[in-house]
Amino acid sequence: MDNNDMMEKEEIFSKVLRAGRRTYFFDVRSTKAGDYYLTVTESKKFTNDDGSFHYKKHKIYLYKEDFSEFGTILNEMTDYIINEKGDEVISERHQKDFKKEYDNDTIETNVVGTDDNTPSTGKFTDIDFDDI
């Protein structure tokens, strides 16, 4: 292993966030010139059919000259999500009893062209365009 590989592997400061099947690694590293930058690595665990598992990793490199703008946009995006959807987790992966809104509600429809032209309520049915 040469000196460049050693530099890439050496973390100056690190934090780990475990989040279900995902783990996020935040690592401060050093450039060849001795300046610092941040790597954020997402590692996601996948289970194979035979029970063994593997990880897929995605990494971003963030340099000091981009910190301010990156932080501003990250805060703007996370604030938008919280303001629009709240901070409660509402996903099928996190809640086994999660039901989509349209699964619980009956969809009302007005069917035009019925014999008595009365509105019909219920679920959608297949329509053959030759009937129109």
Supply the pLDDT for residue 107. Answer: 45
Q: What is the band of 18 on the pLDDT scale with cuts at 50, 70, 90?
A: very high
Average pLDDT over residues 87-104: 65
Give the chain's domains with CATH numbers.
3-85 (3.10.450.700)
pTM: predicted TM-score of the whole model, two decimal places: 0.59
pLDDT of residue 90: 78
Answer yes or no: are the C-beta atoms of 37 and 31 closer than 8 Å. Answer: yes
State the Cα–Cα distance between residues 114 and 111, nearest whole angstrom. Answer: 7
- Contact, 29 vs 10, CB < 8 A? yes
Q: Average pLDDT in the 69-93 region? A: 90
Question: Does residue 86 sit in helix, strand or coil?
Answer: coil
Distance CA(24)–CA(15), nearest Å, equals: 8
